[in-house]
Amino acid sequence: MKLERELIFTHNEKNGKKHGDQFQQLTDRLTGKGLSVEQIIKDLGALQIAIPSWALGTGGTRFGRFPGGGEPGSLEEKIEDVGLLHSLNRSSGAISLHIPWDIPDDYQDIRNLASSFGLKFDAVNSNTFQDQPGQEHSYKFGSLCHADPHVRKQAIAHNKEVIDHGIKLGSESITVWLADGSSYPGQHNFRKALLRSLDSLSEIYQYLPENWKMFVEYKPFEPGFYSMVIPDWGTSYYLSTQLGPNAYSLVDLGHHLPNTNIEQVVATLMMTGKLGGFHFNDSKFADDDLTVGAIKPYQLFLIFNELVYGMHNNESNNPSLAWMIDASHNIKDPLEDLLQSVEAIKIAYAQALIVNRELLEDYRDGHDVVMAQELLQDVFRTDVRPLVAESRIRENAAFDPVGLYRELQIRKRLIGERGKKTIATGL
Ligand SMILES: [Mn+2]
């Protein structure tokens, strides 16, 4: 399904007066503070957040899954869905594929389809957390860390195959997340498991084309309930420095223990030039995979505050970051949830862009703790939504993506096209 541009223009025209007034008010306020509204709008327009192919269907928990209908049943339909999101917000211009869930029949056809929606292929993702039908060795006790070299060899070969698929699609990075870990004390020799993983990752790294990056994701627990081989950013940082200049750490917001100071993790990784990318989501308890900004919007802003500082003070040449949503939509329409997530990311980014950094540094240097906090909270409490909307309108996207999605009854149309009982592959 392709969205006619006319529908977006009509929607924007209808809301033009309301938006114009709100935008003018905010512009006056920000200009009064010495900020360049035009530059902020440009920066916002340039931000593209990749959509993972596995997030387009209704997710589930280990207790059950409740599909909502009209879900994409093929890679082509997944690309169409991301195309739909991109036409509504012009900020979802990339799709991230999961192998073996998304192996194309014809690479050129798939590339043509993606580019007809203005989409690129973001990082490809390997999967050694499940056994696939017909697979010779099981990953029950690990993959890249496994004690048996035959299992490691199979997992390495899979990652190389993922890279091959990515090359044919025009991707330029691979994200490796390992489910490898242990559930009981005594099960693993921590050092041996980590060193075997490093050896396996090295072999995959050697296989990377020169212009490719490898992102090493970490997670403190689950599925391993006692230990994970790559539990934290320190271990991920160790691996990426051992692997070489094209290996980076990847921060998934849900992959931290409660109360971890993620903004500090981000600051440190960027300072070392080893922050490669981001998986956005939100959580109350653990890896909940909730809508970005749904639970802790202030933390999201503080993270973006460090990201923007890192982008403006990039002595370590940290590369531009790979942004991706990594969420699961158990009870919401996945497309609406993704629109909400992208909006939350852009709001946090817009807020970080209006922080007066010179003044903040003055407060810090003067040990004025109160005013440093006042400054950040004043920004956080500023409603920047008109800025984000203005950047969208200028990119020919919708003033209110979720509103227009509802108005056009897109889910109903998708159910009409694809049926009520479709289930997307993925999580
Ligand atoms: Mn992730």
Give the domain CATH number at 184: 3.20.20.150
DSSP state letter for 221: S
The answer to the question of residue 30 being in a domain is no
- Distance in Å, CA 284 to ligand 1 centroid: 16
- Distance in Å, CA 45 to ligand 1 centroid: 24
pLDDT score recorded for residue 1: 82
pLDDT score recorded for residue 423: 72
Residue type for 134, please? Answer: G
- Distance in Å, CA 139 to ligand 1 centroid: 19
Residues 6+ apart with CB under 8 A from 415: 69, 70
Gyration radius of the chain's alpha carbons: 22
- Distance in Å, CA 191 to ligand 1 centroid: 24
- Distance in Å, CA 220 to ligand 1 centroid: 12
Using CA atoms in the order 265, 271, 272, 275, what is the torsion angle rounded to 10 degrees? 60
- Distance in Å, CA 64 to ligand 1 centroid: 21
Render the burial of 385-397: b for 16+ CB within 10 Å, e for the rest: bbbbbbbbbeeeb
**What is the rounded CA–CA span in Å between residue 159 and residue 144?**
10
**Residue-wise pLDDT tens for the chain (427 aa)?**
889 999 999 999 999 999 999 999 999 999 999 999 999 999 999 999 999 999 999 988 889 988 889 999 999 999 999 999 999 999 999 999 999 999 999 999 999 999 999 999 999 999 999 999 999 999 999 999 999 999 999 999 999 999 999 999 999 999 999 999 999 999 999 999 999 999 999 999 999 999 999 999 999 999 999 999 999 999 999 999 999 999 999 999 999 999 999 999 999 999 999 999 999 999 999 999 999 999 999 999 999 999 999 999 999 999 999 999 999 999 999 999 999 999 999 999 999 999 999 999 999 999 999 999 999 999 999 999 999 999 999 999 999 999 999 999 999 999 999 998 877 766 5
The answer to the question of residue 131 being in a domain is yes
The answer to the question of residue 376 being in a domain is no
The answer to the question of residue 216 being in a domain is yes
- Distance in Å, CA 371 to ligand 1 centroid: 36
Tell me the C-alpha to C-alpha distance, in Å, between residue 252 and each of 69, 98, 218. 28, 16, 8
Residue type for 232, please? Answer: D
β 64-65/60-61 pair status: antiparallel
The answer to the question of residue 144 being in a domain is yes
- Distance in Å, CA 252 to ligand 1 centroid: 5
- Distance in Å, CA 390 to ligand 1 centroid: 30
Closest CA relative to residue 145, chosen from 99, 183, 199: 199
| Distance from the Cα of residue 383 to its chain's centroid | 24
Task: Name residue 217's beta-bridge partners.
Answer: 250
The answer to the question of residue 35 being in a domain is no
- Distance in Å, CA 224 to ligand 1 centroid: 16
- Distance in Å, CA 29 to ligand 1 centroid: 38
- Distance in Å, CA 12 to ligand 1 centroid: 34
- Return the structure tokens found at 2: 């392709």
Q: 87, 8 in Cβ contact below 8 A?
A: yes
- Distance in Å, CA 214 to ligand 1 centroid: 14
| Distance from the Cα of residue 406 to its chain's centroid | 24
Q: Edge-to-edge strand order for the sheet containing 247-252?
A: 124-125, 173-176, 213-217, 247-252, 275-280, 322-325
pLDDT score recorded for residue 67: 86
pLDDT score recorded for residue 426: 60
Judge if the upstream peptide bond of residue 100 is cis by omega within 30 degrees of 0. Answer: yes
- Return the structure tokens found at 56: 């387009």
pLDDT score recorded for residue 425: 65
- Distance in Å, CA 186 to ligand 1 centroid: 27
- Distance in Å, CA 288 to ligand 1 centroid: 11
- Distance in Å, CA 303 to ligand 1 centroid: 17
Q: 256, 220 in Cβ contact below 8 A?
A: yes
**What is the rounded CA–CA span in Å between residue 427 and residue 416?**
24
- Distance in Å, CA 89 to ligand 1 centroid: 23
Judge if the upstream peptide bond of residue 104 is cis by omega within 30 degrees of 0. Answer: no
- Distance in Å, CA 255 to ligand 1 centroid: 8
- Distance in Å, CA 278 to ligand 1 centroid: 8
- Distance in Å, CA 327 to ligand 1 centroid: 8
* Domain containing residue 78: 46-354+395-418
pLDDT score recorded for residue 68: 86
The gap between the terminal CA atoms of the chain, to the nearest Å, is 23
Total number of domains constituting the chain: 1
Residues in the chain, overall count: 427
Does the pTM exceed 0.95? yes
The answer to the question of residue 4 being in a domain is no
- Distance in Å, CA 279 to ligand 1 centroid: 5
- Distance in Å, CA 39 to ligand 1 centroid: 31
Residues 6+ apart with CB under 8 A from 330: 58, 59, 60, 61, 65, 66
Q: 279, 177 in Cβ contact below 8 A?
A: no
- Distance in Å, CA 97 to ligand 1 centroid: 13
- Distance in Å, CA 23 to ligand 1 centroid: 35
The answer to the question of residue 231 being in a domain is yes
- Distance in Å, CA 217 to ligand 1 centroid: 7
pLDDT score recorded for residue 62: 87
pLDDT score recorded for residue 427: 57
**What is the rounded CA–CA span in Å between residue 94 and residue 52?**
9
- Distance in Å, CA 262 to ligand 1 centroid: 15
- Distance in Å, CA 408 to ligand 1 centroid: 32
